[in-house]
C-alpha cells in the first residue's frame, strides 16, 4: 500500500545500525505563550528522536522539545523558546468548507529545500486508509508532496492552513500527484 513509503513495512526492521541519522520534516508555527513557540508536525517526523531542533525559514535553529504526540492521528507538537522574537503564527482555516476542485498550496521542506511551495487542487475528501490503526480521514491533493513535506501546511487561497501534509502514494518514492493531508479540523481537536 501507499503508506509504506513513509512508514515502512511492519515486517521490516532497520535493526541496530550503530549510527545516528538526521530526520527531516516540516511544521507549522501554531501558538505562542510568552517566549515559548509551539510547532505542529507529524508524529512520524519526530518519531523516537533523541534530539529535536526547529529551523526557521531564515536558517536560525532552535533546540526543541516534544510536548505531545498522537501516533494514531500522526500528529505531534514540539516547542522551542525564542526570547524577544515575534514570529508569525499560522492562521487555521476550516477544512469542512473545502470542496473537490478547490485550489490549495503545499508548503514545506521537501528533500531539505526549505520554504518550497507547490500548487494543486483538492482531488478528494474523506479518504480512508493509511498506516494500520490510523483514525484520520484525509484530504487528497495533486499538489506535489515529497519526503520532507510531512508536517507542513496545506493552505487555501486565503492563506489559511486547511490540512497537515502527511503522506503520499507512489511506486517510485516521488510525487505523482497523490498526496494526503490531515484535515485541520481533526488537528484542532487533537491539539487541544
Calpha distance 49→80 (Å, rounded): 15
Active site residue 74: yes
Annotated active-site residue in 26, 95, 136, 150: 150
Annotated active-site residue in 74, 79, 123, 136: 74
Calpha distance 188→54 (Å, rounded): 21
Active site residue 44: yes
Task: Show the cell assigned to 104.
Answer: 490549495
Neighbouring C-alpha atoms within 13 Å toward the C-beta of 156: 20
Calpha distance 53→33 (Å, rounded): 19
Which pairs count as long-range contacts for 133-137, CB under 8 Å and 24+ apart, including other chains? 133/72, 134/72, 134/73, 134/74, 135/72, 135/73, 136/72, 136/73, 136/74, 136/166, 136/182, 136/183, 136/186, 137/183, 137/186
Annotated active-site residue in 44, 79, 95, 136: 44
Calpha distance 67→168 (Å, rounded): 26
Task: Show the cell assigned to 81.
Answer: 523558546
Q: Which residues are catalytic?
A: 44, 74, 150
Amino acid at each position: 500500500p501507499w503508506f509504506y513509503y513513509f512508514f515502512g513495512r511492519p515486517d521490516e526492521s532497520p535493526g541496530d545500525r550503530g549510527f545516528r541519522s538526521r530526520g527531516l520534516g516540516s511544521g507549522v508555527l501554531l501558538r505562542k505563550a510568552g517566549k515559548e513557540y509551539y510547532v505542529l508536525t507529524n508524529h512520524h517526523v519526530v518519531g523516537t528522536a533523541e534530539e529535536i531542533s526547529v529551523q526557521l525559514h531564515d536558517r536560525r535553529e532552535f533546540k526543541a522539545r516534544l510536548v505531545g504526540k498522537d501516533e494514531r492521528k500522526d500528529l505531534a507538537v514540539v516547542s522551542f523558546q525564542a526570547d524577544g522574537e515575534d514570529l508569525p503564527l499560522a492562521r487555521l482555516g476550516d477544512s469542512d468548507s473545502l470542496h473537490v476542485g478547490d485550489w490549495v498550496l503545499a508548503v514545506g521542506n521537501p528533500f531539505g529545500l526549505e520554504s518550497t511551495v507547490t500548487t494543486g487542487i483538492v482531488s478528494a475528501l474523506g479518504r480512508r486508509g493509511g498506516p494500520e490503526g490510523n483514525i484520520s480521514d484525509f484530504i487528497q491533493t495533486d499538489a506535489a508532496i515529497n519526503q520532507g513535506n510531512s508536517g507542513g501546511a496545506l493552505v487555501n487561497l486565503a492563506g489559511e492552513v486547511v490540512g497537515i501534509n502527511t503522506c503520499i502514494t507512489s511506486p517510485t518514492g516521488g510525487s505523482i500527484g497523490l498526496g494526503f493531508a490531515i484535515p485541520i479540523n481533526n488537528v484542532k481537536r487533537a491539539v487541544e
